[in-house]
A and B are shown apart, each in its own frame.
Chain A
């Protein structure tokens, strides 16, 4: 069976869903179910043990077959991300942590230096570390070396819907990587998710594109199908793109035919 392997965990779905930005918890839960996802990420900011109605973790943990990956969105430094990871593990029991460190709270671009440091510490502590990173092939290898479970390069800025603007860098990351590569952030439409999978990504993470759609449930299902189609196409072998037509007078005719 073709499955996504993250640590000792296996997932048949290659669509990871973010759980913020939805119009209600009910709609979010319906979208999670419709997506067929088995791995969702929840910000520690949105864990609320004191008010059930405001809490995202409780209702998600009641859905069967879903693994929850807390994320450290809000952290500006490695130190804060490490602290958030510890609290998240305490609250959720999950071995996963999605390390998100964005010191600028406006554009939310990940800080490669702080991210590297947090991942080094957390991987050493036995977490299954999934860092959200700039699409940087060198940083990706560095994170692999310190024991990250996957790397999650951004397609474009969070919530921007600019698609896979980092495609060329992601291609290099995929080519070089020994750990799963998951495109995270910026995907706007199912066709972009499909393209990322065809390119060889191991999974994609989507949030805004589903949450802000007029019909998040239908959009979640559309993303699920697109991710499956892209993965099947990749496994089937995609016809190579030819760079040019074949000349009628071959350039190598002067070499004669092989004897």
Chain B
């Protein structure tokens, strides 16, 4: 049928267009970063010094800052998002569930800059109290070994945690709804209580959903700029502990791009953008592979 073929072509066109955007962005970033790539090569990723005055550039501090804050926030979000989703789906009924879900969705619509301001003026003083306590009492643990400023990796992680919760909660909630009732009832029939059914039957069933939620959250956490830059302390050096100020790829680009005047400086900042782009792509790709494996495993069962 002619309209069928037309439909197919139009859809193909849209797909190709989106692909073209991604490839286009990559090529543009690559050409912008070319000067820095020539100068620094792939070793850029492990060079530690970022000094625009001396024209020495290295991405390691920002790579570490980005990965640490993103991964920590995602790891801490797991129990919170799984817990809230289970609570919303299994433990409260109807109206309340809808109200609370809407409030969680509201969290996702708060602008990043507002999170940053709130973080700086409300969250950071509390974090500083926690950091001071840990510094006094648990200083021997290397993670808590630096002078507590309040702003730093810990504050950035907590802010990211709050920002990514709505994404993983919404994905996990949807997957929970799709768990067939009969396997749950089979569990109850065998004498399991509610907690055992959830822990041993439902959670393993939605493994892929949890993973997808994690992937989505990680993607958001890696790229978050404004909120992070306001509470991370903006220090272009490797953090040695949770309390140290640091910097992320997105944050340093936001801070320095406007004023960078030397071509090598601009090119190095674009190189950082390229690194972020490639890293996000790789992490997403890996997530999809693992997801595929999990799903294949489920089908075999």
Q: Do A and B come from one complex?
A: no
